[in-house]
Every structure is written in structure tokens, then in C-alpha cells.
Chain A
Amino acid sequence: EIVLTQSPDTLSLSPGKRATLSCRASQTISSSLAWYQQKHGQPPRLLIYETSNRASGIPARFSGRGSGTEFTLTISGLDPEDFAVYYCQHRSDWPRAITFGQGTRLEI
């Protein structure tokens, strides 16, 4: 079973700064890593799929990269609306399980 570990648990930054969120897999995974943003009381929203592809309507300040076991989500020029919890997610080929990281809280 693949385990995804996100770091840091909490990231405190100011608007306009750059945020770098990490997601480490317990074993080498394919490029099928996604990132979601969740605000309080709302469902998760897809930001990035397959490591580096922005979902429809997602601003260009969100970018993803990585390979193997190390993946990052970068938010360039934080907007006040970006302060939320971020999750990485992977779906394994076998067993067909979906795994989430524990989340990174991005706060002001």
C-alpha cells in the first residue's frame, strides 16, 4: 500500500509570497498524482492532475512538478483566497486504491 506524506503540516506565509508544498510517496509512483484545495465547509477542488496539469479554471500561479517519490505544488504570489488545506492524491494500479496525503494547512 502506497503512503503519501505531505510536508509541512502547516505553512504560514503572507499574501504575495511563494508557497511550496511537498508530497512524498512511500514507493515510486507513476505521474498519476493530483492536488486538491479544500476550504472550510466546502468539498475539495481539483487543482492539478497527473503531476503538472492544471485543471480547468485554475489560475496559472498554481503549478505542480515531480517524479518518482517526490512531488511539489507551488503557489506563486499567494492570494488571500489561497489560504486553505491542500491534499495530494494517488490511485494505484493494483490494488485499485485511492490514497490521500494527510494535508498541508496554508495559513496567513
Chain B
Amino acid sequence: EAQLEESGGGLVQRGGSLRLSCAASGFTFSSYGMVWVRQAPGKGLDWIASIRGSSSSSIFYADSVKGRFTISRDNARNSLILQMNSLTAEDTAVYFCARLNCGTTNCNYLDPWGQGTLVTVSS
């Protein structure tokens, strides 16, 4: 069974940095694109970054985090990383990692998801 588990969340001051990890198991990690999605308290889901399976050169970011967050992966360790810099109160959220699955036309849906890790940015 494919599983994902995030870690690294916590309380950080405004302007600080945090590094999130997502440990994958139960599937061939390098064969799948991966994404980070966040959810602010009481709000909806926001995609923030994607990375292709075999090529770390294929990376995409939401405008809200471009230039501040960096997504990367270590296929040897089955691990997905999100380096977050210059954090603001608006970055306070639960951060989920999810696997990107391919359908008949393209890779377009997310399953499974991790349980999430809470990041709180204090002002």
C-alpha cells in the first residue's frame, strides 16, 4: 500500500525558514511526480509546488511561493522535500504531500495524501 508521511512542521518566526520532508513507501517513488498542497486554518486547498518523478528539472510553483520555497526530491531515500524561506503569517497552514497519478490523458490527480504537518508562523 502506498503511503506518505510528512514531518518537519512547527512554530517559526516571521522571516524564518523551515524544511519539510515527506517519506514515501509502498511504491516506486522515482516513477511518480509529487506535489505539495497546503491548507490554511478553516480554508480550502492550495497547490504550491510540483516536481516530476525522474527529472528534478521539471518543477513548478504557485506564484504565492515562487522565489521563497524550493521543492526537491531524493529518489535514493524515497523522500520529498520542501524548503521554505522568508516565511510570513500567510504561510501558516497544514502542508500535505501527495503523489501525482497519471490517467489516460496526462498526470492529473492526487492519491494518496499524507496526513499533513502543521506550520505556524508567528508575527
Contacts and interface: CB of A to CB of B under 8 A. Distances in A.
Interface in A22-56: 30-32, 34, 36, 38, 42-46, 49-50, 53, 55
Contact of A103 (B44, B62, B116): B44
B109 A44 contact: no
Contacts of A43: 96, 113-116
Given A43-B114, A43-B116, A100-B45, A49 B107 contact: no
Interface in B35-51: 35, 37, 44-47, 50
Number of chain A interface residues as a range: 20 to 34
A49 B105 contact: no
13 contacts: A32-B103, A34-B110, A38-B45, A49-B101, A50-B108, A53-B103, A87-B45, A91-B108, A93-B106, A95-B60, A98-B110, A100-B46, A100-B47
Most buried by A among B47, B50, B96, B110: B110
A31 B105 contact: yes
Interface of B: 35, 37, 44-47, 50, 60, 62, 96, 101, 103-116
Interface string A89-101: 1110101111111
B110 A50 contact: no
B60 A96 contact: yes
Contact of B106 (A45, A87, A91, A100): A91
A32 B109 contact: yes
